[in-house]
Structure 1
Amino acid sequence: MRLFLALVPPLDLRERLGALADAAHARCGGRRMPDESLHLTLAFLGEVGDEQASELVDWMCRLAVTPGEWRLDAWGHFRRPGIVWVGGQAPDAALGVLHKRLWDALEEFGLAGRPAHFMPHVTLLRRAKRLDASRLPAPDLVWGYNQLDLVQSTIHDRGSRYVSLARSLES
């Protein structure tokens, strides 16, 4: 099964991110991510066997995440896949520490794939026709987080479907 670790926004923040996605879609076109799919990926694990997935579920249920806040105040894009995202203007040290801590633990499980560079972002659009965000409203959101989800991604004709398999302890 295809898995990743993510921060999932609370409902009120998800709605505000959805409003930004609507504005970006009107300006840039492409495929808008559904509100229920909006998240921050901290570690993409790829295909994981059932036994290892079960071990990860057990680990996730015992994991405590240091609470933090992430300021989303910048638009960005990845040219090649046509992704438009929202994230932070400056690197977020706490998210960087969490990312490193998670990958240190995941490598102990025998998982590989730690990226050379971590760019925290929430993907709002895929296959955008224009990547110019200059006329979009400036984002100014604060995401308070204290939990992490282990998410299964299933690919369908019209995108991916995400299901949380486990959630960390609430800090």
Structure 2
Amino acid sequence: MRLFIALNPPDELRARLGELADFAHARCGGRRMPDESLHLTLAFLGEVEEAQALELVEWVQGLAIAPGKWRLDGWGCFKRPGIVWVGSQAPDPALEALQSMLWHTLEAHGLAGRPTRFIPHVTLLRRAVSLDTRSFPEVDLSWPYRQLELIQSFTDGCGARYRTLAVSQG
């Protein structure tokens, strides 16, 4: 099964991120991410065997993370896959430490795939026709977090969907 570890935004922030996705979609085209899919990926694990997934569920359920607050204050894009995102203009030491701690433990359990660079962001669009975000309005949002989730990604007749398998202590 295809898994990742992520932060999910509070409902009010999710609604605001959806509004930003609508704005970006109107100007850049492409495929808008559904509101329920908006998240911050901390660790993409890819395909994981069921036995290891069950171990990850137990690990995440027993995990307690330090509460934090992430500031989203900028627009960005990844050219090759045509992604438009919202995230931070400057590194966030708390998120970097959380992501590093997760990967340290995941690698100790035989999982690979730590990215060479961590760019905290929320993907709003995929396959955007335009990636020019220079004239987009300023963003200044605060994302309080205290839990992370182990999420399964699967594809069905409705496209890609997510299912939470475990939530950390909070």
Same fold per superposition (TM over 0.5): yes
Q: Does residue 169 in structure 1 map to residue 169 in structure 2?
A: yes
2:157, 2:22 → 1: CA distance?
A: 22
* Runs of 4+ that moved beyond 4 A: none
Q: TM-score, normalised by structure 1?
A: 0.97
2:23, 2:156 → 1: CA distance?
A: 25
1:138 is displaced (CA, Å) by 1.2
Match runs of 1:1-171 below 5 Å:
1-156=1-156, 159-170=159-170
1:157 is displaced (CA, Å) by 5.9
1:97 is displaced (CA, Å) by 0.1
Unaligned stretches of 5+ residues in structure 1: none
SS in 2 for 1:41: strand
SS in 2 for 1:18: helix
Letter in 2 for 1:9: P
2:38, 2:130 → 1: CA distance?
A: 20
1:164, 1:148 → 2: CA distance?
A: 10
SS in 2 for 1:36: helix
Identity over aligned pairs, percent: 65
Supply the RMSD in Å over aligned alpha carbons.
0.9
Q: Tell me the alpha carbon deviations over residues 42-88 of structure 1, each in whole angstroms, 9 at most, x when there is no partner.
A: 00000000100000000011000111111000000000110000000
Q: Tell me the alpha carbon deviations over residues 112-154 of structure 1, each in whole angstroms, 9 at most, x when there is no partner.
A: 1111110100000000000011222211100000000000000
Letter in 1 for 2:56: L
Structure 1 residues 35-44 or 150-159, which shifts more?
Answer: 150-159
SS in 1 for 2:105: helix
SS in 2 for 1:77: strand
Unaligned stretches of 5+ residues in structure 2: none
1:128, 1:116 → 2: CA distance?
A: 24
- Residue correspondences, number: 170
SS in 1 for 2:91: coil
